[in-house]
Structures are given as C-alpha cells and as structure tokens.
Chains A and B, each alone.
Chain A
Amino acid sequence: MQEDQHIDELKDLPVLGKMPKRNPFMAPEGFFDHFPHAVQHLIVDAPRHSPWAWLFTSWVPRIATVLLLVIGSIAWFQWPEGEQGIASAEPGEQVLPYELLDMEFDEDLIFATLAHDEPVMNTVDLALSEREMTAYVEYEDLSLELLIEEL
C-alpha cells in the first residue's frame, strides 16, 4: 500500500521514476566497525542527563537569576541608609546564641550607642504614681543620695 502510494507519486515524473535508488555514498573501509568504539570513547566524558540539567539548559532559570540580581540590587540601594548590613531581630523574636556567630554587626554603631553620654534613665519614660515610685524605691533599696544626684 505504502509502496503503491510511492509509485503513484512518481508516475508523472518519468525521469525520477526510472532512476536507480542505489546509495552512491560509501563510507571508508571498516568505518562502521570502528565508529561504535569512537562513540563509546566520547560518551565516557559526555554528561548524562541529570534532573538538574534544566537549570543549565533552560532559559527560565537564567532569566530568573538575572531578575533576582536586578531586584536584589534595586532593593539594596533603595534600603534606608544605616540599616544595611546590620543584623537585627524583630521585637520578641528570639535569637539563639549560635545564630549570633553568623550575624554581622555594625561595630561603629554599637560603639556609638555605648558612648552616648545621656543617662540611660532619661530614655525610660515611665508614668508611675507617687505610691508606685515609693514602693519601687523601697523594694530596690536605693540610697537617697544617689537618687538626689540622679534627679
């Protein structure tokens, strides 16, 4: 059936229809005996398909990487100055001791904060009643001289 169809296709083409279908292209003597060895030798170095190959062959991860870099750069330069590179934990978030080893600290900022000459007490804004204040002083057993000096 297939052959008949093929003959039909050539019936209006007398020259082509009469042509011999011999293969005139020859390979050198022994080529097909040696070729499988040559291929075997080459594929030893050729990587087999890995499940992660798409990362290196597909355009999607490449575009995603470029986008990520661009967005990261924009975010870095848009971030308010002084907050870059400082490790911080959200209020109430617990930072475990071993995590501190991986954190980056802005040493200049830490020293600047420690060198601040305003008394620490001034930064605490507590609204205490007179009775609460008296109870606090009695509980802490603070000396009167120190309190007068501080105030």
Chain B
Amino acid sequence: MSDLSDSELLDLFHKEESRHYAFNLLVRQYQERLYTFIRRMVTDHDEAKDVLQNTFIKAWSGLDRFRADSKLFSWLYRIAHNECLNHLRRMKRGLFVSDEAVMERLTTSMDSSEHFNGDAIERALQKAIMRLPDKQRAVFNMRYFDEMKYEEMSIITGTSVGALKSSYHIAAKKIEAWITADQTK
C-alpha cells in the first residue's frame, strides 16, 4: 500500500470513526525509520522497542495538537529524539555511572546482539560514534546516515543551523581521528 500524505493521515485521524485506523497507518508508515534512528542511539533492540513505543504513545496523546507547521515525520522524529536523550539520561542516573560506563554498556550490547550484522569496519564506525556525547551523536546520525537537511534537523533538535553544522563537523573529525587511530594500532 502506498504511503498516505500527512494531510490525508491527519484528516482520517480527526474523524472519530477512523482515528485508530489512521494511527495504525501512521505507525506502519514511520516505524522503520524511527526505529533505525533510535536503535543507533540506544543500540539494544529491547530498549529501542521501548523508546519507540513511548514515542508513538506520546504521538497519540499529542496528535490533536499537531498543527502541521512542520512535516509529520519531523514532529515524530523530534519526539523520538527527545525520548532517546531522556532514556540515556535516565540510564546514567539510574545506574549512577559516567558517560564512559554508558558507552561501554552500549558497545557490549552491540557486540553481543544477534541483531547486528555489520562487518569489522562498520563495527569500528559504530564504536567511534558511541564515544560521542549523546546530543552530538544524534546530530551525527541524522546528518551522516539519514542525510537530513540542517533546517529539518534544526526543527527536530531545537538548535540553530549554525550550531548543528559545527557540531556535525566536530563529530565527523573526531570519528575520523578515532577510526584512524584504531586502524594504526
């Protein structure tokens, strides 16, 4: 089935009799792209599933207030982005651990996951990405993998385009340096 446009989905959602049907279509339409973003942020499948569920539950609660100023996907992506950051923050707070310990946990989770099928170079890239601070990692993933425009990223993160450009530039330089260092070991 072809994807519905934002306005078609919203029209269906605003009718009481088709509200659940519309939301089901919305989940089907955006789940994979959001899952991929979340999974790159939290690495573990079960945690990614929980964050994705919370994202859609929040979307269900707030979709009446969505005023179509931005694209529906950007709005959902924004919720997912905030949910990821909150999840990682809670993880650090709950475990009383440092950023390094969380990075270690994410790396272990990736290494032991049966749902990771990257080769050695992809593994090295993911490990380097995990060394970035959470917000910078989100920026890097959006730009590098999803090739998102800075303007859209700005809507999602609530950060200026200039700040995002420099954040991405710094992140890319760091990753390049870390991978190069790892390869020369």
User: A residues touching B (Cβ–Cβ < 8 Å)?
Assistant: 2-3, 6, 9-10, 13-16, 19-28, 31-32, 35-36, 38-40, 42-43, 46-49
Number of interface residues of B (CB under 8 A): 47
Query: What's the nearest-Cβ distance from chain A to residue B107, in Å?
Result: 14
The complex places the Cα of A6 from the Cα of B149 at a distance, in Å, of: 9
Which of B50-58, B69-77, B154-162 is the contact stretch?
A: B50-58
Q: Which of A9, A22, A23 is the one whose CB lies under 8 Å from B169?
A: A9
A23 to B129, CA, bound (A): 14
In the complex, the answer to whether B28 meets A25 with C-beta atoms within 8 Å is no
Bound state CA distance, A6 and B172, in angstroms? 12
List of B residues within 8 angstroms of A48 by Cβ = 60-61, 64
What is the bound-complex CA distance between A48 and B19, given in angstroms?
A: 11
Which residue of B has the minimal Cβ distance to A51?
B64
Which of A16, A24, A39 lies in contact with B126, CB distance below 8 A? Answer: A24
Residues of the B chain whose Cβ atoms lie less than 8 Å from the Cβ of A20: 121-122
Query: How distant is the Cα of A39 from the Cα of B149 in the complex, in angstroms?
Result: 29
Contact among A3, A23, A43 with B57 in the assembled complex (CB-CB below 8 Å): A43
B79 at interface, CB cutoff 8 A: no
Interface membership of B133, Cβ < 8 A: no
Q: Is the CB of B116 within 8 A of A25?
A: yes
Are B179 and A39 in touch, CB under 8 angstroms? no
B27 CB–A CB distance under 8 Å: yes
Across the interface, do B20 and A3 meet the contact criterion of CB distance under 8 Å?
no
When A and B form their complex, which 7 residue pairs have the shortest distance between CB atoms, in order from nearest?
A24-B118, A25-B39, A36-B27, A13-B176, A43-B60, A26-B115, A39-B56
Is A15 a contact partner of B53 (Cβ separation < 8 A)? no
Type the 1/0 row for B158-180, where 1 means its CB is closer than 8 Å to any CB of A. 00000000001100110110011
Whether the Cβ atoms of A26 and B173 lie closer than 8 Å is no
CA of A14 to CA of B43 in the docked complex: distance in angstroms?
A: 26
B61 touches A15 (CB 8 A): no
Q: Could you name 22 residue pairs across A and B whose Cβ atoms are closer than 8 Å?
A: A2-B147, A10-B172, A14-B176, A15-B180, A16-B175, A21-B145, A22-B122, A24-B123, A25-B39, A25-B43, A26-B116, A27-B39, A28-B45, A31-B49, A32-B35, A35-B49, A35-B52, A38-B53, A39-B56, A39-B57, A40-B27, A43-B20
Give the docked Cα–Cα distance between A38 and B35 (Å). Answer: 15
Nearest CB in chain B: distance from A67 CB, A? 28
Given contacts A22-B118, A26-B117, 18 further A-B contacts (CB under 8 A): A9-B172, A13-B173, A15-B176, A16-B125, A16-B144, A16-B175, A23-B145, A24-B118, A26-B116, A27-B32, A27-B35, A32-B32, A39-B60, A40-B20, A40-B24, A42-B53, A43-B56, A48-B64
